[in-house]
Amino acid sequence: MYLKTALRPARASRESNRRGAINMEYVFGGALAVLILAAVVFAVWVAMGGSKEEERHVLKAKTYICDVCGKQYTVNLEEMTDAERRPAPTAPKVATCRKCGKKAAYQALPCPECGKVYVPLRARDPFTQEPDICPFCETNVDAYKRKKRAEARG
């Protein structure tokens, strides 16, 4: 009997303190709702294109050089066909030349050292084991990129 009466006032005072305090279930529920809302906002932000800094790395156009007529031209992303936008990874990246109409235009890339545009070997033959060498400054582009990646890692 003594034990029951001794616990009653403590239990009653604990309940009275809870009335004015914030219930922890509401705190955890609110925190969970905020996390879910943040995840949804982040997913929408990424789907819409992300930050302005990421836009610098988005491909806006491709440069092509034709093997037949030798013309160099640039195609904007909106003007590209689906095959030009996403070529098969194992197929040569050849396109129809916009100047002469022959299927002999290959995607050209700028040399990271001299900046001049050239057609890399892998554009014509994706399985080549030859190193990618700039025809203008004779920079080994593969070795240059490996060196830059190693420097970036530290």
Pair of tokens at residue 105? 């235009």
Rounded to an integer, what distance in angstroms lies between the CA atom of residue 46 and that of residue 77? 20
Strand partners, 108: 63
Rounded to an integer, what distance in angstroms lies between the CA atom of residue 95 and that of residue 105? 5
pLDDT value for 12: 47
In a domain, 34, yes or no: no
In a domain, 66, yes or no: yes
In a domain, 143, yes or no: yes
The pLDDT tens digits for 2-31 are 555 555 555 444 454 555 567 888 888 899
Pair of tokens at residue 18? 């809870």
In a domain, 142, yes or no: yes
The pLDDT tens digits for 33-91 are 999 999 999 888 777 766 554 444 456 788 889 999 999 988 887 777 776 667 666 66
Number of independent structural domains in the chain: 1
Rounded to an integer, what distance in angstroms lies between the CA atom of residue 106 and that of residue 82? 16
Sign of the alpha-carbon dihedral angle for 107, 111, 117, 122 = negative
Pairing label, strands 61-66, 94-95: unpaired
In a domain, 144, yes or no: yes
User: Domain range holding 143?
Assistant: 58-153
Rounded to an integer, what distance in angstroms lies between the CA atom of residue 95 and that of residue 65? 10
In a domain, 100, yes or no: yes
In a domain, 36, yes or no: no
